[in-house]
A and B are shown apart, each in its own frame.
Chain A
Amino acid sequence: MERAPGIPQPVEALPAVSLAERRERIQRVLRGDLAEDRRRRLRERLITGWLFLAAAISVLTTAGIIYTLSIETIHFFQRVSLVEFFTDTQWTPLFAEKHFGIAPLAVATLLVSSIAMLVALPLGLLAAIGLAEYLPPRLARLIKPILEILAGVPTVVYGYFALLFVTPLLQRFIPNLQVFNVLSAGLVMGIMILPLVASLSQDAMLAVPQSLREAAYALGATKLEVVWRVVVPASLSGIVASFILAVSRAVGETMIVVIAMGNTPRLSFNPLEQMQAMTAYIVQVSLGDTPHGTLEYQTIFAVGTTLFLITMGLNLLSFRFLRRFREIYQ
């Protein structure tokens, strides 16, 4: 019989095999599979073990930090009351007449962070809008890394930039500006955290679906209206989260405040004067010759814990905002 090409030939009849031989073959295959299976399981367990170890190290480090902080902080508060810590307006643990009021340090930190945010918020938001909405994508891709270089500059450089460039510049316009002052430190810190705000806000804006922009254009909105009435509101929680992360970065910033803001803990609200930020105090004591176990030594842990709680609170808040943001567009 003729067969058209392409049609497969009928399968040859299987060679006769005894039942016992078939059973033996099956068992051989199963044994091999089992051995392979065991090897695979072992390999997987090994990998899981490594991953667990890596995760455990970071968790343990955090736990260790919290443990050290709490032990010394508890010792500190056994000798100094919480009331004094929060209500006293002087911070003089290193002097003969000791006061333990966190207020001068906290106010200095908040003041310098506020100035930094006054710079970083509007500029960062505008930079993000420009990158996400106005610049051609190719140009934005070119500019963003340049902006992010700002975030990579060592903070010690920013500190000297504030002290040796910004302060003398400002002194031409504000004669009574002190050599160490909150204003310069805040302005430069603002420039430092600007890329953080710009980059995260831009990501939030790029996550807004193009279809929403088109919907607004189709309703007769101008570019400006599309940006301010659709894109910014739709990415608001992402923008807010970037602001909060930037604040927490500012609060924890150390080198700029150590170099350019001064080391005198004074309760004041005048940004033209010198003050000491929380982080700067910790540096001062750490570098000094304060013996372990003394009350002076414990003060830095009390300050450190306060700082830790502030930044952790801010980070948690920002994660909540980010989560809400993701829920909208999933």
Chain B
Amino acid sequence: MSAPTTERRHIVVPPGQPALRVETLSVWYGTRQAIREISMVIPERSITAIIGPSGCGKSTLLRAFNRMHDTTPGARVEGKVWRNGIDLYAPDTDPVWVRRQIGMIFQRPNPFPKSIFENVAFGLRVNGYRGDVAARVEQALRAAALWDEVKDKLDASALALSGGQQQRLCIARALAIEPQILLMDEPCSALDPVATMRIEDLMRELAKSYTIVIVTHNMQQASRVSDYTAFMLAGEDRIGELIEYAPTREMFIRPRDRRTEDYITGRIG
């Protein structure tokens, strides 16, 4: 039994309409707790970065936002995630409905071994979209800044694209079903600097109409692209906690918590 934390945390509540309101969220893998009682508000139409050293539970937190843990045997989530007055973890909330609104981009590009077109159309097909599939595919590819590169080879295999193109294809695939929130789990960790820059530009562009939450190892990336930054850290019990949450500029210029400062300045992690 660990004693309840009484220390003061510097966790801001961003103004404006919240996209997600997270309430005392904890996740277990089997008997091992991975993150403990995280509460935070993700603001709408902005980019929120989650940073922290390896094993601090960043990805675990992110995957809790669209109920991806449901697909992992043994994983258990406690707490609430509110969106527009609906608790995503309520018993009558359909996880498929949740994921339809909250898309996800993964660490490594993971296109299906199908054509470029079919990759983007996949979400439309499984969601029974009745409109003009080709138009939506084009729209999504344009939004992901990939259309000009692939418009002449939509029937080619997605696996023939470069890593950066594959990742933008995965973004297009997620955008095709018009989610409201995009979760990105270290989307650039497998990409070279040029491809990374293109993805970051794309993220800034997408943030005008989507809410983006990005997990990143790369503090420069967090400071470049995000509006808000959350710093997570696992204590001696290896359970991740939210240490500090603030507007990005503030956090990087004047961190309030000693541990945040140590991490940002490279003393730990």
Which residues of A pack against B, CB within 8 Å? Answer: 136-137, 209, 211-222, 225, 229-230, 233-234, 328
**Pick from A136, A218, A225, A229: contact of B103, CB under 8 Å:** A218
Contact A220 B68 (CB under 8 A): no
Q: CA–CA, A233 to B113, complex, Å?
A: 8
The residues of A that contact B127 with a CB separation of less than 8 Å are 219-220
A222, B96: Cβ atoms closer than 8 Å: yes
Interface pair A218/B114, CB less than 8 Å apart: no
New A-B contacts (12) at CB < 8 Å, excluding given A220-B100, A220-B177 = A209-B110, A211-B108, A212-B110, A212-B112, A214-B68, A215-B110, A215-B170, A218-B66, A218-B68, A219-B177, A229-B122, A328-B159
Residues of B within 8 A of A220 (CB): 96-97, 99-100, 123, 126-127, 177
Taken together as a complex, chains A and B put the C-alpha atoms of A229 and B121 apart, in Å, by 12
Residues of B within 8 A of A230 (CB): 112
Interface contact B174-A219, CB-CB below 8 Å: yes
| Chain B residues closer than 8 Å to A217, beta-carbon distance | 68, 71, 99
Residue of chain A at shortest CB distance from B173? A219
A219-B177, A220-B100 known; A211+B126 contact, CB < 8 A: no
In the complex, how many angstroms separate the beta carbon of A81 from the nearest chain B beta carbon? 49
Classify chain B: how many residues form its interface, as a range: 20 to 34
18 contacts between A and B (CB under 8 A): A209-B110, A211-B108, A213-B71, A214-B104, A215-B106, A215-B111, A215-B170, A215-B173, A216-B126, A217-B99, A218-B103, A218-B174, A220-B96, A221-B126, A222-B96, A225-B126, A233-B114, A328-B159
Chain B nearest CB from A248 CB (Å) reads 27
What is the minimal beta-carbon distance from A42 to any residue of chain B, in angstroms? Answer: 48
B158 to chain A: closest CB distance in Å? Answer: 11
A325 CB to closest chain B CB, in angstroms? Answer: 10
B99 touches A214 (CB 8 A): no
Residues of chain B within 8 A (CB-CB) of A328 are 113, 159
Known A219-B122, A229-B126; judge A214-B110 contact (CB<8 A): yes
- Does B73 have its Cβ within 8 Å of any Cβ on chain A? yes
What's the Cα separation between A239 and B24 when bound, in Å? 45
Task: Indicate if the CB atoms of A136 and B126 lie closer than 8 Å.
Answer: no
> Do B113 and A234 touch (CB < 8 A)?
yes
- Bound: A209/B109 CA distance, A: 12
Instruction: Name the distance in Å between B121's Cβ and chain A's nearest Cβ.
Output: 11
- A234 cross-chain contacts in B, Cβ below 8 A: 112-113
The reply to whether A211 and B113 contact each other, CB–CB distance below 8 Å, is no
Complexed CA–CA distance, A217 and B97 (Å): 11
Residues of A within 8 A of B159 (CB): 328
Centre residue among A215, A216, A217, A229 by max chain B CB count within 10 A: A215
Interface residues of B (CB under 8 A from A): 66, 68, 71, 73, 96-97, 99-100, 103-104, 106, 108, 110-114, 122-123, 125-127, 159, 170, 173-174, 177
Most central of A212, A213, A219, A225 by chain B CB within 10 Å: A219
CA distance A297 to B83 in the complex (A): 81
Instruction: Report which of A209, A214, A219, A229 forms a contact with B71, defined as CB distance below 8 A.
Output: A214
What's the Cα separation between A220 and B126 when bound, in Å? 7
Residue of A nearest to B70 (CB): A217
Closest to B125 in A: A229
Please report the C-alpha to C-alpha distance between residue A136 and residue B104 in the assembled complex, in whole angstroms.
25
B73 touches A136 (CB 8 A): yes
Given known A220-B123, A328-B113, contact A214–B174 (CB-CB < 8 A): no
User: Which of B73, B103, B122, B170 has most A Cβ within 10 Å?
Assistant: B122
CA distance A225 to B96 in the complex (A): 11
Task: For A209, list chain B residues within 8 Å (CB).
Answer: 110
Contacting A221 at CB < 8 Å: which of B96, B110, B111?
Answer: B96
The 8 closest A-B pairs by CB, nearest first: A220-B100, A219-B123, A218-B104, A211-B110, A221-B126, A215-B110, A225-B126, A220-B99
Known: A136-B73, A137-B73. A211 touches B106 (CB 8 A): yes
A217 CA to B67 CA in the complex, in Å?
10
Which chain A residues border B110 with CB–CB below 8 Å? Answer: 209, 211-212, 214-215
Instruction: Quote the shortest CB–CB distance from A215 to chain B (angstroms).
Output: 5
Q: Is the CB of B106 within 8 A of A214?
A: yes
Give the chain A neighbours of B108 by CB distance below 8 A.
211
Would A219 and B106 count as touching, CB distance under 8 A? no
Query: Shortest Cβ distance from A79 into chain B, in angstroms?
Result: 53
A321 to B68, CA, bound (A): 33
Residues of B within 8 A of A214 (CB): 68, 71, 104, 106, 110
Interface centre among A136, A209, A216, A234 (most CB of B within 10 A): A216
Shortest CB–CB separation between residue B120 and chain A, in angstroms? Answer: 10
Q: How far is the CB of A137 from chain B (nearest CB, A)?
A: 7
Q: Please give, as numbers and ranges, the residues of chain B lying within 8 Å of A211 by CB-CB distance.
A: 106, 108, 110
Q: Give A237 to B188 CA distance when docked, in angstroms.
A: 32
Smallest CB separation, A139 vs chain B (Å): 11
CA–CA, A218 and B173, complex, Å: 10
For the complex, what is the distance from the CA of A328 to the CA of B114, rounded to whole Å? 11
Tell me, in angstroms, the Cα distance from A220 to B170 when the chains sit together.
14
Residue numbers in B under 8 Å from A219 (CB-CB): 99-100, 103, 122-123, 126-127, 173-174, 177
A215 / chain B contacts, CB cutoff of 8 Å: 106, 110-112, 170, 173
Q: Which of A218, A225, A234 has the largest number of chain B CB atoms within 10 A?
A: A218
- In the complex, which residues of chain B have a beta carbon less than 8 angstroms from the beta carbon of A229? 122, 125-126
